[in-house]
Amino acid sequence: MAFPPSRTRATVGPPASGFMSLPSPPGASEPEASRHFGPCRLELRQGDLTAEHVDAVVNAANAHLAAGAGVCGAIRRVGGASIFEECAAIVKARGPLATGDVALTGAGDLPARHVIHAVGPVWRDGASGEALALASCYRKSLALAAVNGMASVAFPSIATGIYGYPVAEAARVALQTVREWMLGEGRAASAPSSVTLVRFMLFSEADLAAYRSALRALPA
């Protein structure tokens, strides 16, 4: 899967076929945008990942699975210490995770059932394997959810915080990878996925706009 670099600034235009734009006042439960790919639904929302009632939320983790800032810090504050005690045990058993790799823990006090920890790439120049590593985060997270029989997964925008990945480019990689997974590309036909809902919880209006633009650009 190739992800050629793009410097196009994300914009929001009229909905394309198959793209549903929904009004979303504060506190509304409806997604700001959604599309179906095969039997699966992909949703975009602006809001709090730690409040999601899903089978798994995905943490934008570091290689040592240590509590940090951003998404990771929010999961620690809301979910409690038990999540990162499990993380420490994982790292003790298998060592630091490679970029693009994932691990599974309980969710502590979060309303979700599990946390999938995904180690995103640090942005360098866009030509150092960042897109492949970022795609691996999403693909391996969905594979881990599927092998554990999960139906719903909520992602943040991985690697676009302190790791510096440009949001528009990250959105394109993220949504293209999730679409391919939903359509069965990159996984064995004999291993159907239990995952039927993937939701992206975006921090800001600008992030949401970038992801809306990337979602609109995806083929059916």
Range scoring the smallest mean pLDDT among 21-30, 178-187, 190-199: 21-30
For the stretch 176-179, contacts whose Cβ atoms lie closer than 8 Å and that sit 24 or more positions apart, written own/partner, are 176/1, 176/3, 176/135, 176/214, 176/218, 177/1, 177/134, 177/135, 177/138, 177/139, 178/42, 178/138, 178/142, 179/37, 179/42, 179/218
What's residue 30's pLDDT? 63
Look at 35-39, 126-130, 182-186, 199-203 and tell me which has the smallest mean pLDDT: 182-186
**Whether the predicted pLDDT of 7 surpasses 50:** no
Beta-bridged to residue 119, according to DSSP, are 61
pLDDT for position 28: 39
Supply the DSSP symbol for 126. Answer: S
pLDDT in tens, 33-83: 999 999 999 999 999 999 999 999 999 999 999 998 999 999 999 999 999
- Whether residue 1 is predicted with pLDDT greater than 70 in this model: the reply is no
Nearest to 31 by CA among 180, 171, 201, 168: 201
Q: What is the pLDDT of residue 191?
A: 63
Residue 16 predicted with pLDDT over 90: no
Mean pLDDT of all residues in the chain?
87
Q: Return the pLDDT at 32.
A: 87
* Residue that the structure tokens 């809902």 belong to: 197
> Of 7-11, 80-84, 170-174, 203-207, which gets the smallest average pLDDT?
7-11
**Element at 139 (helix H, strand E):** helix 130-147
pLDDT at 24 over 50: no
**Tokens read off for 138:** 């999403």
User: What are the chain's domains?
Assistant: 40-217 (3.40.220.10)
Mean pLDDT value of segment 89-115: 98
